[in-house]
Each structure stands twice: as C-alpha cells, then as structure tokens.
Structure 1
C-alpha cells in the first residue's frame, strides 16, 4: 500500500496573496496551439516568495547564499508538524511544549485553523525569536510556518530571520497545514536551483512515515 501524500502548498495564480509591495503572480501566453504552432508556452512574472517558498540566506543577509547555492538536505527528511492554532501574534515555546520531545531536524508549525489564501494577513502569526533559538539549540535545521513570514509583517528588525541567519537554520513559509494532523512525516520541499535568487517557490509535500 502506498504511503499517503499531503500537499501542503497553496495554489499559485493571479489572485494569490503577496506581501505588500511584492510582485504578484502574472502569466501571459507567448505561444498557443494553432495549425502553425504545436504547443502552448507561457511567460511568468512573480516574486519567488509567492506561495510556499524557501527563503535563502541572501533574503536577510547581504552576504548570504542565494537559494540555488544552499545545501538541499534540510528540505528533505523527517519532520514534525505541531499545532499552535490561534496562539496569537507570536508562537512561543509554551505553544509547542506538548510536542517537542525527541524532535526531528525539521519542525513545521500550524497557526491557522484555515490558512488565508484569498488575501494577505497583516496580523500574521510569526515566531518568537527565542523559540527559533531554542529549536536550533536542539538540532533543528529547518523551520516552517503556515503564515507569510516567521517575523511580524511590520517588523523592520526581523529578529527571527536573524536567528535563522546566525544559526544556519533554513525556513519554509506560506505552507498550508489545515488538514494535517500533528505528528511526524517525511518532508519533501526542494527549492529550485536559482543561482542568484533570494528565495524559491517549492512544491511542499508531506509523506506518511
């Protein structure tokens, strides 16, 4: 019997929400199937932060690596989904305390009952920087969240991103964990090999162990 696959990526289309000021998804057709053309071909313009995505260190560190240059191993392997639904503006250790024994190297946090997919949430839930530090101390190499950022939308200091930078922890944002029970899974969320980009879209999935 095949293992169940959970698609935890939101749909990407022209109406997909983006961080205010970011480049929304746009697609145009540059070739269409006609008697003289055998294929459809489109051109896409978008921020690499649209939909489920992996931030590169370059996103929050001017000397950081672009996403096409980072090690892929954090994006593939055992992970834990932890629910902190309705936790408020910041996910803190007490919201995850019920599920942090014997943590695998990857932790994904569900904060929404239903992840917003129609409009950007200016009051998005984010990570307390102390929580990211605590997870890094316990060997976590990747964190993920179902909101658009691990820091509050209005933050200019980006304290959680700065912990990620300093502790060499990778991050996934804009996941959809609405229907995923708490527990351990295999994560598959490989970024594209975009050699100069500050992030990459991912098709993030979980597979039952």
Structure 2
C-alpha cells in the first residue's frame, strides 16, 4: 500500500481476544479439490476481535447499532498523539496538544507491549475527557488498547460518556512507531446491520 500505514491487527488463530470471548478461526469449507473450482473459507470471530469499532448497542440496550452509524466519522483527517507511560487519559494530558480542527483523534500509549497476549492492565480513559473532546469538535477517539475502560469494569463509564457526547470509539489500533502528526484515516466498519461492533481494516496516510 504505497504511502499507507496499516494500523490493523492481523487476524489469525493466535490473535488475542477478550478472555472468554469467541476465539478467531478461519478454515476452508470447500477446497479446490472438493469443489472442483474454488477454495471457500469460513470465519468465526467476535465482533470485537483485533482492531474494531464499538457501536453504542455494545453497552447500551437502546444504543445505535453498526448499521445506524455515520460512516463519514471513520474516514478523514486525523491527529495522532503519543502519550507514553500514562495511566489515565484525561484533559490535562492533552492540554499542551493543539487539537484545533481535529475531528478524529488517535492516541498512542504504547501500553500494550506484547500483542500476542491480552494485556492484564491498560490505561483508562477518564470520563471527563469526553465533554472536553466534544467541545473541541472531536467525533472519533481511537486507542492502541482493547478498551477505553479498565478491563475489569462492569459499568463502563468511559464508553457511556463518549457515546453521550457523540464520540465514536475505535479500539485495538496498532500504532507502534507511528509518529505524532496529521494523517488521513480510513477505518470503515463492515455493514453488519444489527451488530454491536465490527472489525475494521484501519489505515493511515501522512498528510
């Protein structure tokens, strides 16, 4: 992909998933030898495997499903910010960052070091970040983490706060080595009409 940076987690049998969630698998339903003409594959996976978006229905009973989301949010100019060694993503952590005119914000924390394993702990998004981002026009928040909330959270305060303030969620982006700056993002969900989330092929291009 000339000029494009792939920030998607490769999907294979060993891709780590949320503990207890559906493991990823791919296999051939028909081989070329069996069908006489083609190989045909079958995929089994969670909608939250690898790099994916969360629809509000994931955490709100009456929330929007994937088919109801505004696709334009998932493609366009994006700012990548690096906040290494941080435990909580809050407004003060971004106070020195110019996000004027930013609609899509990707935060690289470098906290998920070994992507062959599901992390034990991750930085969390302070719910106070949601209104702060909304006031500045941000509509999409993406992270190099499997969740915007602590892994043991049941009430998911950041998920709810972001949805309440009109901010879409992109999780599991692979931002290793991606330099801070402005990019073009494409991370469209699949047309899973009634789904609670969707894997994406997320890519960046410097602008």
Indicate how the Cα distance of structure 1 residues 60 and 190 shifts in structure 2: closer, same or farther if over 3 A, else same: same
Aligned to 1:46: 45
The two structures have a TM-score, normalised by structure 1, of: 0.93
Counterpart among 111, 117, 120 of residue 118 in structure 2: 120
Residue in 2 that maps onto 1:172:
170
For the residue of structure 2 that corresponds to 1:147, the secondary structure is coil
Report deviation, 1:103. Answer: 4.3
Aligned match of 2:155 = 157
Name the residue aligned to 1:60: 59
Q: Name whichever of 145-154 and 19-28 sits farther off.
A: 19-28
The answer to whether structure 1 residue 186 and structure 2 residue 176 are counterparts is: no
Instruction: Name the SS for the 1:78 alignment partner.
Output: strand
Matched, 1:111 2:109: yes
1:144, 1:12 → 2: CA distance? Answer: 19
Deviations 1:52-111 (A, max 9, x none): 0011111011101111221101101111000011112x2122322332341410100001
Give the unaligned 5+ runs of structure 1.
Answer: none
User: In the aligned structure 2, how far is the partner of 1:155 from the partner of 1:92?
Assistant: 18
Q: Which residue of 2 aligns with 1:129?
A: 127
Aligned length: 207
Partners of 1:23 and 1:122 lie apart in 2 by: 18
Q: Name the CA distance, whole Å, in 1 between partners of 2:35 and 2:126.
A: 57
Shift of 1:208: 1.5
Deviations 1:131-165 (A, max 9, x none): 12211121110000000000010111111101122
C-alpha distance after superposition, 1:171-192 (max 9, x if no partner): 1000000111000111100001
Distance 1:175 1:80, change over 3 A: same
Are the counterparts in 1 of residues 130 and 165 from structure 2 also a CA contact under 8 Å? no
In structure 2, runs of 5+ residues without a counterpart are: none
Instruction: Tell me how large the CA RMSD over aligned residues is.
Output: 1.7
| Structure 2 Cα separation of the partners of residues 56 and 36 of structure 1 | 38
Q: Following the alignment from structure 1 to structure 2, what is the Cα–Cα distance between the partners of residues 36 and 45?
A: 21
Relative to structure 1, the CA distance from residue 38 to residue 186 in structure 2 (aligned partners, 3 Å threshold; closer, same or farther) is same
Separation in 2, partners of 1:53, 1:36: 33
TM-score of the pair, normalised by structure 2: 0.94
For residue 99 of structure 1, give the secondary structure of its aligned residue in structure 2: coil
